Amino acid sequence: MISPVAVTIGLRYWRARKNTGFVSFITLFSMLGIGIGVAALIIVSSVMNGLEDRLKGQILGSVPQITISAPKGEAIPVVEDPAVIAQVPLLSSEALLSSGKQMAGGLLLGIDPLLEQAVSPIAKAMSFGEFTALQSGQYRVLLGSGLARKLNVWPGDKLRLMTASGARYTPLGRVPGQRLVTVAGVFELGAEVDQAMLLMHIDDAKRLLRSEPQQRLYLQDAFTAPQLSSVLTQQYPQLQISDWRARYGQLFAAVKMEKRMMSLLLGLIIAVAAFNIVSALVMMVTDKTADMAILKTQGLSRAAIMQIFSVQGMSSAGLGTLIGALAGLVIAGNLQPILSLLGIWLLPPGMPLPVLVDYTQLAMVVFGALLLSFTATLYPAWRASHVNPAEELRHE
């Protein structure tokens, strides 16, 4: 329990400016350093969260999050789990596309557009054409915008599609499965999948690839796929279950590592500013030695004296953290207008910078800053509590 006397004296020392100009400057510097560090950490973390969320929505929302394959002749069960929002058939294969002199590789997904229209983000990202333009027997495809630019094609153009999955054996040897297809539309998610993904009706894909479909699970949160796939593997050991980590695990691991490193670097800024409080408090202890000796002769305990300097140090830290948290929230919420006003575009022009404030993360930043600051006050406060009144008052 903090003594009211310690709080009163600590706040009085903190507000005092007379004959303590240099100490006040260091205290102000520490407070501003903590505020700037907290604000920077909140802003950068919010931007990193926004970028990760955009990647999760655009990439993991469009690629298979979990796929389930069964041995020939065995049925795939319906997965009943609150995390699953849809279970749809899927065929996938690497493919090679040719248009005149242009060639490009891509990932072919055979889908049922009527089943996926409500859950696939591609249905809402069509730049040209309609998602439901994929019809059985028409051999139409939807291309990502980057892939369409590589091949220099538009809706209505013809493409030669080749895939090893539907290869046939002929007297001349093994010939890859191929088909002339029509571009029915172009989608743009603003992510890597635009460069290499194409969609085809699942009936056409079955005929082209000569294989039976898998099952694809859409999840409430794509990041729960590893846990769910592990559970399903234990429940159905006869099935082959994979998730998005096989293709995009390294990308998201790199994003997570970058978030951690940025948090560590900005956390060090807060730590440096917090431990500047040590300098200010040590000088204050030196200046107030006689005061502490008098207070001890009047019966103030060592614990109360430690509380005095802890209150003084934490007042600066608390105010700095509060200012930094409020500044960080305000700037993070208006970051794109501020950058636009300054003429700065961190992403291609016209693409807004994604910002997502995680209030749990915000609470951890504030708590961490206050904990570091409190730790920084312990040594000066301990030193002040061990003042020897007889020694210090001898020459007073």
> For the segment 120-143, what is each residue's pLDDT rounded down to a tens digit?
999 989 999 999 999 999 999 999
**Rounded mean pLDDT for each run of 10 residues along the chain, 396 residues in total:** 67 58 68 86 88 81 88 83 92 89 90 92 91 92 93 92 74 72 91 89 91 90 90 90 85 82 81 75 69 70 76 80 91 85 70 83 87 81 70 58
Say yes or no: 23 and 111 in one domain: no
Q: In the prediction, which pLDDT does 176 show? A: 72
Question: Which amino acid appears at position 220 of this protein?
Answer: Q
Say yes or no: 227 and 259 in one domain: no
Say yes or no: 361 and 301 in one domain: yes
Determine the longest span between alpha carbons in the chain, in angstroms. 111
Say yes or no: 192 and 49 in one domain: no
Q: Which of 190, 215, 243 is the last residue of a domain?
A: 243
61 located within any domain: no
Say yes or no: 41 and 114 in one domain: no
Give kind and range of the element (H or E) at residue 354.
none
Say yes or no: 193 and 95 in one domain: yes
Tell me the HSE value of 77 on the side-chain side, using a 13 A CA sphere: 12
Q: Which of 221, 243, 265 is the last residue of a domain?
A: 243
Domain range for 310: 4-56+252-392
Q: What is the DSSP string of 151-204?
A: HT--TT-EEEEEEEEEEEEETTEEEEEEEEEEEEEEE--SSGGGGTEEEEEHHH
Q: Which of 213, 243, 273 is the last residue of a domain?
A: 243
Say yes or no: 12 and 143 in one domain: no
Say yes or no: 34 and 122 in one domain: no
Copy the structure tokens of residue 213. Answer: 């479909």
Q: In the prediction, which pLDDT does 147 show? A: 93
260 located within any domain: yes
Say yes or no: 160 and 189 in one domain: yes
Radius of gyration of the chain (CA): 32
Total count of domains within the chain: 2
